Amino acid sequence: MRALRLHGDRDLRIEEIEDAPAPGPGEVRIRVAAVALNHIDVWGFRGMAFAKRKMPLVVGAEASGTIESIGEGVTAFAPGDHVVMFGAKTCGTCRFCLRGQDNLCTDVQGIMGFHIDGFACEHVTMEARHVLKVPAGVSLRDAATAPITYSTVEHMLIDNCRLEPGETVLVQAGGSGIGTIAIKLAKSMGCTVITTVGDDDKAAKALAIGADHAINYRTERFEGVVRKITKKMGVDVVFEHTGADTFNQSLFCLRRGGRLATCGATSGATISMNLMQLFQQQYKIFGSFGAPIRAIADGLKRIEAGVSPVIDTELPVARFAEALERLESRKVFGKILVHI
């Protein structure tokens, strides 16, 4: 089968490799349809010292596809079903997996497309427990964004921050894949949404998808604008994923007792924090990495209900490197999809 493999830093090649095997007991074989790009793909493309992996490596961490065949004992799927795949190889038997907190698995074998072979290939064979059926009204194109993008937002805003209708939310980097979904999800709940973006064009686009206020952080200090918008009260929730450049200012934007969830550090991983501010203002800060499988199902339900993804670019697999370069350039607004 054809696959896209990483041989070294920024060295991607389309190659013919051995096809995925027939499914064994409890497994399914899937024809991959589309891969959605995320910053984890950029990190892998650049080369990250902390990633223990063997080259060459099939890339792609988030995808959708169609069931081709099923193994013995599989009853939840049939050939022809549209599905998405959970990209972390969790054990399924530890106490966290058993209570539905798959992203806290104590024996995870790796993330597909980053540590171990991923989805940028024609077929994959995997355990059925890591596969979810796509609702009938959801396209494979949109569904490809559910396993990481929607589930990450769901886990940050709903599981961790317990976002409630009518609250005010600050979404950092609203033009990113997860940023656009955070705007749309919060707005669908009746929240007031403030977002930051890097230029006026993105500001217009953010307003068009539902943001109530869009701040160009290159021309204005967003924390001052947020305090003005909220009449110095601050926001209830901050959706933070940009890192050192914005983290302390994001804390300053919170109301007393406000909640902040963070899942990224693209602008830097180290900060200094005012601990007196933290405890006096009674902030709640959540580190959020990945999401449980259940959050993917919840994300698919949101797509089915009309909270559709914002697609920036769609390209064939032969232009995967170009897609990564666009994501790396930060010119993107929404998601980039690569069709296999």
State the Cα–Cα distance between residues 259 and 252, nearest whole angstrom: 11
pTM of the model: 0.94
Tokens read off for 75:
């009853």
Give the position of tokens 């902040």. Answer: 260
pLDDT band at 128 (very low <50, low <70, confident <90, very high): very high
Mind listing the pLDDT tens digit for each residue in 279-301?
A: 999 999 999 999 999 999 999 99
What's the rounded Cα separation, in Å, for the pair 73 and 76? Answer: 9
**pLDDT tens digit string along 224-258?**
999 999 999 999 999 999 888 899 999 999 999 99
CA 249 vs CA 78, 122, 166: distances in Å? 50, 44, 23
Q: How many residues does the chain have?
A: 340
pLDDT tier at 204, thresholds 50, 70, 90: very high
Tell me, what's the pLDDT at 49? 52
pLDDT of residue 112: 95
Mean pLDDT of 312-332: 89
Q: In what order do the strands lie in the sheet with 213-216?
A: 213-216, 192-197, 168-171, 235-240, 254-262, 284-287
Residue 211 confidence (pLDDT): 98
CA distance 328 to 332: 9
pLDDT value of position 8: 86
Question: From the CB of residue 272, how many other CB atoms can be counted at a distance below 10 Å?
Answer: 8
Left (φ > 0), alpha (ψ -120 to 50) or beta: where does 27 sit? beta
